[in-house]
Amino acid sequence: MQLISILQQWQQQQWIRAIDLSLAEFIVESLGSDHEAVAFLAALTSYQLGRGHPCLELQSLRRDASAYLQLPPEHASFESRQQCSMPTHALALLPDDWQTLLQQSAACEGAASPLVLSAGQRLYLRRYWQYEQDIKADLAARCQAQSAWTGEQLKPTLDKLFGVSATISWQRVACAMAVRSGFTIITGGPGTGKTYTVVRLLATLQELREQEGPLRIHLAAPTGKAAARMTASIGREVGQLPTQYAALLGEAQAVTLHRLLGTQSHTRTFRHHRQRPLLTDVVIVDEASMVDIEMMAALTAALPAHAKLILLGDKDQLASVEAGAVLGQLCEQAEHGHYTPELAQWLAASHGVALPSSMIDAKGAERWPYLQHTVMLHESRRFDAERGIGKLAAEVNHQQTQWLREWLPHSAAFAEADAAMANIAALPVTHNSAPAFRQLVEEGYAPLRDLLQQDVAELEREPWGEAVLQQLERFQLLAAMRKGDWGVERLNQLVTLWLFGDDVAADKWFAGRVVMVTKNDYSVDLRNGDIGLAVQTNANAPLRVLFRGPTGKLRWLLPSRLAHVETAFAMTIHKSQGSEFTHTVVVMPDHDAPILSKELLYTGITRASERLTLVYADSQGVLQAVQRRIERGGGLRDDTN
């Protein structure tokens, strides 16, 4: 039982989770000690699931086990590295033919077995294999459900909503694509016009449908913050439409995916599912990069067969915290189009402008089936790709380090030479208490602190609360990691000290404490990721925690009602997804780590709407992060089962 002993060592040193070890022990107990090798691979599959990978990629494991598994983990002590076997040593104890070993094991046979070996390449926990199969089957059916409208018939409506242009409008192409197909992805970076497109898409669908009655449309996002932003941005864009179209749409209200599907307490299931689908004709999901494979399976199962599903998101952002990289896998290579000639001809007829020949691929349907339902928006209306935030985001996203090498130590000189570069700054520091960093934080939070010090009359409470929450969105620290000198835990301690002195503790309640909800709490109708602020309207008033509710109304809750919160002057970049801040400060650690990647840094940078400061202790660490990509396993793109 040498392999089980290795797993036990790893779990004792917190290299793997207790649940990973338990699965291996369960398989050995159920099937016998001669299944130890299969049990070991099962534990690795579970471990990878905890890291966001829905399966264990056997070829990657065999090629470089330590790099693929990221074992030993970054937090491993010198002593634990000496005591524990390395992954390469453990794998050497396995039989040579892993595929045959797994195929012949009862752990991979039958509908009740805990594991599934897919195409001899990927090992899944059965539940996650089933999620993948269900998603693929559902999307395949929706992709076949195409509208009877021709491109020529659609063109007059699109002319009214988008205007007539001699050059290609990818927003218009995306709208036409979504009218044509039962499933569509619209991807693009910040400011590329996803909301602009969606509002005109909804107006188009309603106009085409008008004689049959209005469509039942549902808008959703993974988090409360993202849903609130979606509601606000769509509301603003509807106001830009001609009156007759705005009247067709009415007031749009986005909700969380959990609320849309109907969460049931103390269970993984939802009120709406395949046997009890949603009453809807169109579902649009924003920030789809945050949707994990389990939630996507639940969503597709809950949609009636006739309903359109439209996903919006930035494929280059971080994938979901939980397992899977659904959006990234479905629209990989979207920037290159790969549209079939037939599809390109249909889209051109709806536009009056031909698609670039470089975007047309005769074998596109065979090689890239999901791209026949995907449009990437290329041009940002918010950021110039050659200047400021747009330039920095583009360089990171395209993994171009030469410009970054010059900019990091000389950002002030870049700003002096070009005023359009003044909205990005690099701040090199040697430690987390550096005076320049402290000054940056204190100045950033000074307007909020001034508001909190006001005495507020009862009649002024609501407008004051609104001003406080708006100010909270104007400055935010984002960290790459939770632990360490540059992790959110230490940063929150420092910010609390700098702003409020040493009389308060970062993890206790005090007026001015910014908090984030860390777990869905249905008793108070709060969701994971919601942001609140502890306030006192005057010296005699009780402490309340101020949140913005799903409809935008302010909520004033007693701290005692909040069971799952943490201080959030600084938050992880992962937790910031779906948010936007006027001035965003991205803090990089003083050492390289596997978690640091171009997706992480790109996501942090694109949370900034007007100003971005990159704080770093080691420029080489920033460059190494840009050169690293996140590769999540899975078979959503494959035809294999």
Separation between Cα atoms, residue 93 and residue 76, nearest integer Å: 23
Packing angle of the helix pair 224-238, 194-209 (nearest 10 deg): 70
Order of all β-strands in the sheet with 514-517: 554-557, 544-548, 531-535, 514-517, 565-567
Residue 250 labeled ligand binder: no
Using CA atoms, how far apart are residues 582 and 610, in angstroms rounded to an integer? Answer: 5
Hey, what are 82's tokens? 């000496």
Q: Is 231 one of the annotated binding-site residues? A: no
**What tokens were used for 560?**
């005692």
CA count, 13 A, side-chain hemisphere, 633:
24
How many Å apart are CA 533 and CA 556, to the nearest integer? 10
- Determine if residue 193 is labeled as part of a ligand binding site: yes
Q: Is 189 annotated as a binding residue?
A: yes
| Terminal Cα distance for the chain, rounded | 32
Question: What is the C-alpha to C-alpha distance for residues 447 and 452, in angstroms, rounded to an integer?
Answer: 9
Q: What angle do CA 630, 636, 637 make, to 5 degrees?
A: 85
3-state SS assignment for residue 14: coil
- Placement of tokens 């009247």 in the chain: 247
Residue 401 marked in a binding site: no
The rounded distance, in Å, linking the Cα atoms of 291 and 232 is: 21
Closest CA to 456 of 561, 357, 351, 540: 540
Residue 552 assigned ligand-binding role: no
Buried b (16+ CB within 10 A) or exposed e, 158-196: bebbbeeeeebbbbbbbbbbbbbbbbbbbbbbbbbbbbb
CA-closest candidate to residue 329, choices 288, 274, 363:
288
Q: Which residues carry a binding-site annotation for ATP?
A: 188-195
Q: Which residues carry a binding-site annotation?
A: 188-195
